[in-house]
Chain A
Amino acid sequence: MSRLRRALVPYVFIGPALFFLVVFSVLSLVVAAVVSLTNLDISGLAHYANVRFIGLRNYQMLFSDGAFWESLGNTAIFVVVGVPTLIIGSLAIAIALNYSQSRLFRALRAFYFVPAITAIVAISLIWGNLYNSQFGLLNWLLSLIGIAPVQWLTDPAIAKFSVALVAIWRGSGLDTIIFLAALQAIPPEYYEAAAIDGAGELRKIFSVTLPMMRFAIFFVIVTNLIGWMQFFDEPYVLTQGGPVHSTTSMSLYIYQQGFRYNAFGFASAASIVLFVIVAGVTALQLRARRADVDF
């Protein structure tokens, strides 16, 4: 009896956590896949009898919707702009912060971390204020050096970058923390050995630091790609996807179809497409990593 009870203990321990993960991830995914084959909308929500299976029609409509392709293109631009900027930027900041263990350098860390932990709603208000085209601080600063006012959030081409900039600013904190933790795990003997061999500071970075951080860099690339493919918060709060859809990411498109137009079936089809893209890209990276020679 007691042996049986002991064998059950680990299952009891993982049970509650697993229950929530399964309900809100795995079950949700299955429900989304099923709903994507139906015409579920607000009337269907009231009475499930109003719901019909319509096969792949949602997917056909989706692929013939210009706005969907535009959101896909926007997402690609966000990924291409955001991911490399963030990774190179946070890596440089982390290496600089780790350059000296003096009190000043330690004190400076917190400044770089704070954007990462602040609420997106607060961030949108702050940046909305800075970006404001009438009384915003940024345009005033530009006017000091004789540059005409910029329509930060109302010009379709510029708005994309304004929105991405806020996300980069906010995202840099967490990546910097992870890189800093990885930097601190590098044994100092490696640097001492490199110094004895006559390596300069720059040489140490390329021959010791970066190779030793391969896993951290890989981890940050994977998580950032997943995050940017699902880019949502900044455009949602700053521009609601406008002007003229120029900042509508795929996630925002899904949200609008689902919760603004109540087209739950159609939105679910779009969300399944997004999931397939994210899962595919992640699987490709993991495979590339496995093929990579291990150290």
Chain B
Amino acid sequence: MRPRVGVLPIGALLAVGALLTSFPFFWMLSTSLKPRSESYAYPPTLLPSRVTLDSYLQLFGDFEFGRFLVNTIIVVIIGFAGMFFMAMAGYAFAKYRFRGKEALFLLVLSTMIVPIQVTMIPTYLILNSVRLTNTLVGIALPTLVSAYTIFLFRQFMTTIPDELVEAARLDGGGELRILISIVLPMSRPILAVGGVLTFISGWNSFIWPLIIANDQQNYTLSVGISLLNKQLTVNPPLQMAGASLMVVPIVIVFVILQRYIVQGFALSGLK
């Protein structure tokens, strides 16, 4: 079979595009390892002349990035409780018949068009009235459940055969038991997608921690890093070290699960 027309030039164009797209990340890592004086050098240097971890050490020494990191991880973990709620809801919408199902599902979908700026002030007022402002739980709650992810779970779980669920019921399995021991293990691709989306939204969340956390003690990484932007004198390596600290973990998670993500989207019937 002869190779398709144009594979080579298209591949070359894509490679150039990939380099351009990822260049800012290369620049971030490179600058984060430069000594401060070199980062102002003109003309700029592509690679550090001397590699130093000073900026990273400064983040954890002079700033409380250790605490911010722990806070961020706690927010992400709370987010995973939300993912279980979303899987439960997706399963109910996919596999049960009940009164009001269509209307309730439409209600879920319609929440997607409510802009976050509409909900910012009321959410603050609501959380304030239950004394959850300035807490990590308060930071995690507004994004705990997303209609988008419920939709993906529902789409995927409708493909699970009814007979399987029925058979488990005849064996006397409780409904929650069936969900946990039969349905969820069969839903691995969509759990991967949901897991990545949940991780990303918790890890990257910026606007809610900014609004909800008044106290440095409850800052997450993203809010901590935005402080580096407000310093009187610009310190590029320090800023880039902060950025790297946020970007690198998520890139690793994503690259590992990348295959499942495209597959998960394809399986959820988005075509």
Q: For A237, list chain B residues within 8 Å (CB).
A: 226, 229
Of B48-56, B59-67, B87-95, the stretch lying at the interface with chain A is B87-95
Pick from B4, B117, B150: contact of A274, CB below 8 A. Answer: B117
CB pair B113–A28 under 8 Å, yes or no, is: no
Pick from B44, B126, B175, B206: contact of A233, CB below 8 A. Answer: B206
Smallest CB separation, B120 vs chain A (Å): 7
Q: For B236, list chain A residues within 8 Å (CB).
A: 129, 135
Q: For B39, list chain A residues within 8 Å (CB).
A: 135
Known contacts: A21-B145, A31-B125. The answer to whether A115 contacts B21 by CB under 8 A is yes
Q: For A288, list chain B residues within 8 Å (CB).
A: none
CB pair B246–A10 under 8 Å, yes or no, is: no
Of A52-60, A80-88, A105-113, the stretch lying at the interface with chain B is A105-113
A93 within 8 A of B: yes
B1 within 8 A of A: no
CA gap between A237 and B246 in the complex, in Å: 16
Interface size class of B (residues with CB under 8 A): 35 or more
How many residues of A are in contact with the other chain, CB < 8 A?
A: 99
Contacting residues of chain A (210-265) with chain B, CB-CB under 8 angstroms: 212-213, 215-216, 219, 226, 229-230, 232-233, 237, 250-251, 254-255, 258-259, 264
B168 within 8 A of A: no
When C-beta atoms are compared, the residue in chain A nearest to B5 turns out to be: A201
CB pair B43–A140 under 8 Å, yes or no, is: yes
A146 within 8 A of B: no
Known contacts: A18-B108, A182-B271, A278-B113. The answer to whether A111 contacts B22 by CB under 8 A is yes
CB pair B243–A97 under 8 Å, yes or no, is: no
Contacting residues of chain A (128-173) with chain B, CB-CB under 8 angstroms: 128-130, 132, 134-135, 137, 140, 169, 172
CB pair B246–A119 under 8 Å, yes or no, is: yes
Pick from B113, B141, B251: contact of A20, CB below 8 A. Answer: B141
Residue-wise, chain B 119-147 has the 8 Å CB interface mask toward A (1 for contact) of: 11111011010000000000001101101
Pick from B42, B122, B229: contact of A125, CB below 8 A. Answer: B229
Known contacts: A31-B126, A275-B114. The answer to whether A11 contacts B98 by CB under 8 A is yes
A26 within 8 A of B: yes
CB pair B145–A232 under 8 Å, yes or no, is: no
Known contacts: A99-B10, A237-B229. The answer to whether A181 contacts B92 by CB under 8 A is no
- By Cβ-Cβ distance, the 4 closest A-B pairs, closest first, are A111-B18, A31-B122, A13-B92, A122-B243
CB pair B24–A18 under 8 Å, yes or no, is: no
Residue-wise, chain B 55-98 has the 8 Å CB interface mask toward A (1 for contact) of: 00000000000000000000000000010011011011100101
Q: For A126, list chain B residues within 8 Å (CB).
A: 24-25, 27-28, 240, 243
Q: For B258, list chain A residues within 8 Å (CB).
A: 109-110, 113
